[in-house]
Amino acid sequence: MDASSDRLIVDVPIIDHATDPVQSDHPADDPLALAGSWVPADGEDRMLMTLATIDPDGFPRTRTVMLSEFDGERFFFHTDAASRKVADLAADPKVALTLLWPGFTRQIVVQGTAAIAPASEAAAAYEARSPYLRQLAWLNTDEFAQNSRAVREQRWAEFAVHNAAPAQPAGWMGYAVTPHRFLFWVSNPRTASRRVEYTRTARGWERRYLPG
Could you state, in order of their start, the residue ranges of all structural domains in the chain? 3-126+171-211
Whether residue 166 has pLDDT greater than 70? yes
Give the model's confidence band at 3: pLDDT under 50 very low, under 70 low, under 90 confident, else very high: very low
CB atoms within 10 A of CB 153: 11
pLDDT digits over 69-126, tens only?
999 999 999 999 999 999 999 999 999 999 998 776 889 999 999 999 999 999 999 9
pLDDT of residue 13: 52
d(CA 33, CA 22): 12
Most distant CA pair in the chain: distance in Å? Answer: 58
The pLDDT > 70 percentage for the chain reads 91
- Sign of the Cα torsion 140, 63, 100, 173 reads positive
- Sign of the Cα torsion 56, 60, 65, 71 reads positive
Mean pLDDT, the chain, rounded, equals: 88
Please tell me which residue, 7 or 122, carries the higher pLDDT value: 122
pLDDT of residue 7: 53
Give the model's confidence band at 152: pLDDT under 50 very low, under 70 low, under 90 confident, else very high: very high
pLDDT of residue 148: 96
Answer whether CATH 2.30.110.10 is correct for domain 3-126+171-211: yes
